[in-house]
Amino acid sequence: MDFTGQVALVTGGGSGIGRAACVAFAHHGAAVAVVDREVSAAEETAELVRKADATALALRADVTSSADVQGYVRRTVDEFGRIDCFVNNAGIGGTVAPVAEYDEADFAAVLAVNVTGAFLGLRHVLPRMIARGGGAVVNTASVAGLVATPGASAYVASKHAVIGLTKTAAGEVARQGIRVNAVCPGPVDTGAMRRLEEQIAPDDPDGLTARNRAAQPTGRYSTPEEVANVILFLCSDLASNTTGAQYVVDGGRSATGSATPTRN
């Protein structure tokens, strides 16, 4: 995979899968625009990109704000002249509660970031790609976008919506040379996963971690780097006729039905 001379724009790039994707793009030759709601986190990732001998731009943005999204797209194009790869990755997990008890404000907040944020990214990046005649987009969905996760109604609904956006956009822009795919991680070794386990089992998060890992056919969680590798594949010429697809990275958990997948 060679991204020399290309520009990758990654939202939620300040940590986890987003950070791993930024660093992977850098190691394969791309310049990287790192977007995060915490500018300090974006700067930390940008420094890792520079250590990989690549050019980086750190940007703060609230992905639920159309003005902020237009701003990160404009700044990236002003700095680098183009956007070749867009990793539409920013997302939040929300609270854990049954549907009948789920807080309305929490539900709206999850959909605002995970659905409206993903839509706005597509809304403002795709015209730039159409204008230059091509590009690749990877939306970060989840195995929770394919199967249910009890207690996570907002997250599940949002990630099903991301897959719907992926399929719709893919069909609309395929003839313009733009591919749009989704990556669907299962449990991943990230800070977000640890916080989720502490929320679900505050008295025994280590025990929940052990049980979740044991439920994986591979016996472990995915690493952020493993998910990033799939993202880079989908952005690369190796996936030149792949669009509208959902790539699962969950250690075989959803395929075997061994347990209900946990959010990434």
Catalytic residue, chosen from 72, 155, 221, 247, is 155
**Distance (Å, rounded) from C-alpha 115 to C-alpha 260?**
23
Rounded-to-10 torsion of CA 50, 54, 60, 63? -140
Length of the chain: 264
- Residue 2 region by backbone torsions, left for phi larger than 0, else alpha for psi between -120 and 50, else beta: beta
- 102 catalytic per annotation: no
**Contact residues for 101 (Cβ-Cβ < 8 A; gap 6+):** none
List b or e across 84-107, with b for residues whose CB sees 16 or more CB atoms inside 10 angstroms. bbbbbbbbbbbbbeeeeebeeeeb
Catalytic positions? 155
